[in-house]
Amino acid sequence: MQRNYLKREILIFFNQFLLVAFLCGMSSGGALLPGAHALHFTLLTALFWNAYSIVDRNARGNAVLSQFAALMVLFSWHFLLGLFDAHQAVWALSVFLLPFCFFQLVNFAQAFLFQGSAYRGKKAFLAALRLLCLACAIAFFLDSRTFFLLYYAQLSFSLVGCIFLSAAHRKRIWFVLRSQKKQLLSSALFVLLPFSGYAALFFKQESRVEQLGLYLIAILAFVSIYRIFFRAVPREENIAVPGRRTAAVFFLLCILSLSLAAWIARLPVLTVFLVVHLIVLWILLYRLILCFDASRSQGSIPPQKKPSDFYEGVLTSIRREEALRQDFSNYLHDEILQDLLSMKNLIRKASQPDVGRLLEETLQKLTASIRSQMQFYHPAFSNALTFRENLQAALDSIQRESGTVLSLDCADTVFLIEPYAMPVCRIAKELVQNALKHAHASQVIVKLQQENDEVFLQVKDDGIGLFASTDDLRAHRGLASVREQVGLLQGSISIRAVPKKGTNISITIPMKGEESYAHFIGR
């Protein structure tokens, strides 16, 4: 993790170095920009700095956050190069970035909405987008007409694909919009009010408001997503680290003071912009030196603090439990399991075949038991599979070991946001294993639904039936553990058991998405 963090810091420093070199080249080449572009440069500086801030806070290496930072950098370069449209080569480079910007936009949008998880048709959709983007890049060097035809084809294909995805997963999209409505509304007010004031002040000066709509859309989208990601991330309790409001006021005062000094000294806008980004370059260099020192001294780069809990500490308890279970799973794999495998190899050389065979069989059973416990404590979830496919794989492993018929009733469009997927999967597995172990069931049916911000899980079996009394529940540690986990998720559990006819367990869990993305980037 530390090495990857250092690589990302090097990349943003290199990007800032290229930016300063480009501005120096434009300035030495006699490029002149009107004072009306001062707002453009201010917004571009904010975009670049926010991208660097995201990389700095992404200590855990979250892939979606990295995509977000890359998207901001790409759009910033596209807007910046577009300001120098008088230079043919620079303008051509701005056009060349268009298909990459749009591909990264669609790629990030789907990763953001699905929180990096899989969905049906994901691989084919992204592969087609990559091919179209690559075709545009190749056509750019061959023929401009072919390039624009392919670019419009990319736009059309992306638009149609997004419409189909939105229709197929409309419940998920609507859930995200409803759960994040406060952040979206506050971001809209934060961006629209100053933009509206600026437009009202300079609406008669066309040069000052041109392309303002594009900046408005980009800034509004970036600010909204930024607030959704980091709304619940507390700042470190350090007197040397300013709060967000203090930093914003400080940044605004710096811009105003530099603008005033530039106006008094009659400095060109490009010169002021170059000075600002030279300062940013030195700040990034200082941060990079600190990272190198920490790496050489075998220190650890301070990880990003985990987001705060929601609804009276429920989420914090779940995260701590998940971390504990994962640590225990890693311990079993790295320590006990490896030792057992080594002993197994040594036993094959034993001089007494019967004893060696008996010990080997015992170790095989123990190895299988440990692997089963590892899956129980921390089920293996693949981002290449949907939630239904992951749950089906978990049930298939139980079915192979027990020989019992297990059925899963779950739609492909069912989605569980962070942090509900792992606990719900574990609860389902625990109920199935409990039915096999205590109820001696020959058939188990698992049904999972998600509607109206609630998750419904039902496990039915044809076993001997379990009594639903409190005393009987406490006698079975599996059911007691399920009740505890459901309680942490503020859910409810209902058990109906008929002797010799089976048991029907129904669980309802409210799915609350206000802190979902905060947990997603902090996991």
Q: Cβ distance 379 to 426 under 8 Å?
A: yes
Query: What would the 3-class secondary structure string for 511-523 be?
Result: CCCCCHHHHHHHC
- Of 378, 399, 427, the position where a domain reaches its end is 378
Provide the pLDDT for residue 244: 52
Handedness of CA 225, 229, 232, 237 (dihedral sign): negative
pLDDT tens by residue, 12-44:
999 999 999 998 888 887 777 666 677 788 888
State which of 63-77, 216-230, 488-502 shows the largest mean pLDDT.
63-77
From 215-219, 362-366, 440-444, 488-492, the region with the lowest mean pLDDT: 362-366
Quickly tell me which residue has 């995200």 as its tokens.
Answer: 176
- The amino acid occupying position 229 is F
Task: For residue 69, tell me if it sits in a domain.
Answer: yes
Same domain, 344 and 391: no
Angle between helices 338-347 and 353-377 (to 10 degrees): 160
Provide the pLDDT for residue 355: 61
From 163-177, 326-340, 387-401, the region with the lowest mean pLDDT: 326-340
The radius of gyration of the chain's CA atoms, rounded to the nearest angstrom, is 28
For the chain, the average pLDDT equals 77
- Report whether pLDDT(215) > 90: no
Provide the pLDDT for residue 41: 83
For residue 419, whether the previous peptide bond is cis, meaning omega lies within 30 degrees of 0, is yes
**Quick one: pLDDT band at residue 469, thresholds 50, 70, 90?**
very low
Q: Cβ distance 429 to 395 under 8 Å?
A: yes
Task: For residue 322, tell me if it sits in a domain.
Answer: yes
Same domain, 340 and 402: no
Task: For residue 125, tell me if it sits in a domain.
Answer: no
Same domain, 212 and 326: no
| Whole-angstrom distance, CA of residue 368 vs CA of residue 363 | 8
- The range of the structural domain enclosing residue 332 comes to 310-378
- Domains identified in the chain, total number: 3
> Within a 13 Å sphere around the CA of 255, how many CA atoms are in the beta-carbon half?
15
Same domain, 273 and 346: no
Q: Cβ distance 518 to 307 under 8 Å?
A: yes
Counts for the chain of helices (H) and strands (E), in that order? 21, 5
How much is the average pLDDT of 58-73?
A: 86
Task: For residue 93, tell me if it sits in a domain.
Answer: yes
Same domain, 411 and 362: no
Same domain, 252 and 341: no
- Of 332, 347, 378, the position where a domain reaches its end is 378
**What do you get for the CA distance between the two ends of the chain, in Å?**
13
- Report whether pLDDT(380) > 70: no
How much is the average pLDDT of 256-284?
A: 75
Structure tokens at 52: 């660097």
Provide the pLDDT for residue 391: 85
Q: Which helix (H) or strand (E) holds 24?
A: helix 2-28
Same domain, 212 and 99: yes
Compute CA 234 distance to the chain's CA centroid, rounded to the nearest angstrom.
18
Provide the pLDDT for residue 279: 85
Task: For residue 127, tell me if it sits in a domain.
Answer: no
Task: For residue 301, tell me if it sits in a domain.
Answer: no
Helix (H/G/I), strand (E/B), else coil: 374? helix
pTM attached to this predicted model: 0.72
Same domain, 272 and 370: no
Q: Please report, for the domain that includes residue 453, its CATH number.
A: 3.30.565.10
Same domain, 368 and 408: no
Task: For residue 130, tell me if it sits in a domain.
Answer: no
Structure tokens at 309: 């809990």
- Of 346, 378, 410, the position where a domain reaches its end is 378
Task: For residue 510, tell me if it sits in a domain.
Answer: yes
Quickly tell me which residue has 């020989």 as its tokens.
Answer: 403
- Report whether pLDDT(293) > 80: no
State which of 154-158, 259-263, 352-356, 437-441 shows the largest mean pLDDT.
154-158
Q: Cβ distance 99 to 154 under 8 Å?
A: yes
Query: What would the 3-class secondary structure string for 25-38 be?
Result: HHHHCCCCCCHHHH
- Biggest CA pair distance of the chain: 98
Same domain, 483 and 393: yes
Quickly tell me which residue has 């490009």 as its tokens.
Answer: 270
**Quick one: pLDDT band at residue 360, thresholds 50, 70, 90?**
confident
Angle between helices 314-331 and 477-488 (to 10 degrees): 140
Same domain, 111 and 8: yes
Same domain, 283 and 402: no
How much is the average pLDDT of 356-361?
A: 69
